[in-house]
Amino acid sequence: MARRPLPSILSTGSAQIARSRELARTAADSATDVLHPLITITRGLRRLAAAGRRRWTDTPKDKRGPLLFLAASVVLVVALAPYGPLLAVIALMAAAAWHGRDTVPPPAEGPDESQVKRLASLYEALIPYFSVEEDPAPLYTHGGDWEAVFPAHEFDPAGRISHLTIRYPAYFPDGESGARARIEQVLHAKSGRGREFRFAWDEEGNQLSVTVLTPLPLDIAAQPFVTAPGETVLGFTDPTEVQRTLPLTHGEQRRDVPPVVWRTGVRSTEPHLLVVGQPGSGTSTLLRSIALQALRHGDVVIVEGGGTGEYACLTGRDGVLAVECGVVGATAGLEWAAHETERRLVALNRARQAGHPPPADARRPLWILVDRPSAFAHVAATGDHADPQALLQVPLRHGRAANVTVVVAEQFDTADTLSEPVLQQTRARVVLGPASPGQLAEFLGAPSHTTPAAQVPAGRGYARLGNGPVLRLQVPRTPDPYDDATTDADRQAVLDLLPPRSHPAETLPAPMEHLPVEAGAESS
């Protein structure tokens, strides 16, 4: 059956609405310009009437009679005089126009005295970095003109710089990261500490744009995000960095916030994630958020090395295959995950050879969440056990083809114990908590264009997906609902997202048996 085209009102409705809005806005502006004198006179008449009313109210009652007689005499004289009414109307309109004018003083052009001092101090601080002795006409010199190198500048209500454009000489090595870092450090120190800055280097135009970033929202709690299968919201970032927004609920309000979306599955270029941070920076919070989103469409295996019970709320829930905290259970769980990955590869290979669609149990996403595997490495070394990280090699290398995703969270002080397959296969990276520019560049693979703050709240950090840009990140609040320090609102938000518990925690289903791996099955 041939498809009928949509009516023109539906296919072109949005364009017509936009055009109508533009015409209405243009008509309103034109009417305001034409009626501006009438609006001014009306405003003046209203102000004159208010002044007359105040004068009559302030006049004592014993003097109101003479005042009324005087006003009537003036009106009578004006009415009897030649051209009196016309001149009176002209005088009234002139007075109304004078009193109805805009009395708001125009904003002062240019910076004030304190702002000039800030710009001059910043100019003097940049002289050692942007000048050389061989330059015959240096832009930066002691006692020079700062207006020539700062073509644009803005200040916040507190008098601190909020935006600044800086010109620098062409011989400055702006392509070297070390030279850029020195300039960014000076600007961050002289323009106000405690704030985050974004630096945009224009190498062709020899200009540097410095912008103060607004803090990311901290009040976004865990909730069902509007995403497609295979999309996971890691957190939220600046609106200028992504072209997508998500509708979120905050109390009784709804607002659109730009998210950092991580795409997994067979077509993903970054199928696995590595999260690194300081203690208390929110790595476990991010893993809980990922687990709640993964349970909407797949199964989850959680391996916790910290032993703090951060994931006890997920034990026995539908879709949670296991929550292991000991080295024996972790080894068994990761060994099952490796065999399950191999079984899926075999099933997919057999389906392709037979010309059948992939089986449903091989298409269902499987998530392996490992929190602090370094703790298991230490216990395994002291107890003559194998390192559980070695069991992640198969899911990491073949997980994308088998629809298996691995997420590893580790702390900065023990990140050197991560195995080589974990570091090589996790191309999606997240760094949470305070970190130096060197640490960010080391773990993310690229320097950040913003200055990290010395003190950051929990869940604040940076994210980089593959070869993409480094983005600021704020993880949604997903605390442990069994923690006494959790607020009632956050606890209820997490409990609402948990799947039902259809079987007790102590009677978890045993891991399914895996098929024997055939030769060539892993080549997928």
Q: What is the DSSP letter of 388?
A: G
What is the DSSP code string of 400-453? HHHTEEEEEEEEGGGGGGS-HHHHHH--EEEEESS--HHHHHHHHSS--SBPPP
CA dihedral (437, 440, 311, 314) positive or negative: positive
* C-beta of residue 162 within 8 angstroms of C-beta of residue 212: yes
d(CA 34, CA 37): 8
Joined together, the tokens standing for residue 160 give 């601190």
Q: Is 436 a known ligand-binding residue?
A: no
d(CA 424, CA 397): 9
Distance of CA 228 to the CA centre of its chain: 20
Q: Is 110 a known ligand-binding residue?
A: no
Closest Cα to residue 459, out of 289, 310, 305? 289
Closest Cα to residue 245, out of 280, 278, 220? 220
d(CA 250, CA 240): 22
Q: Is 424 a known ligand-binding residue?
A: no
193 contacts: CB under 8 Å, gap ≥ 6: 454
d(CA 334, CA 388): 7
Joined together, the tokens standing for residue 106 give 């125009």
d(CA 334, CA 392): 7
Q: Is 282 a known ligand-binding residue?
A: yes
Q: What is the DSSP letter of 221?
A: B
- Residues paired with residue 408 on neighbouring β-strands, in sequence order: 274, 370
273 contacts: CB under 8 Å, gap ≥ 6: 262, 290, 405, 406, 407, 408, 426, 428, 429, 430
**Which residue is listed with tokens 């088998």?**
402
The β-bridge relationship of strands 299-304 and 366-371 is parallel
Q: Is 279 a known ligand-binding residue?
A: yes
Joined together, the tokens standing for residue 306 give 């910290």
d(CA 437, CA 206): 23
d(CA 209, CA 163): 7
Q: Is 177 a known ligand-binding residue?
A: no
Joined together, the tokens standing for residue 277 give 């941070």
CA dihedral (223, 229, 235, 236) positive or negative: negative
Q: Is 159 a known ligand-binding residue?
A: no
* C-beta of residue 390 within 8 angstroms of C-beta of residue 419: yes
d(CA 299, CA 64): 88
Annotated binding site for ATP: 277-284
Point out the annotated binding site.
Answer: 277-284
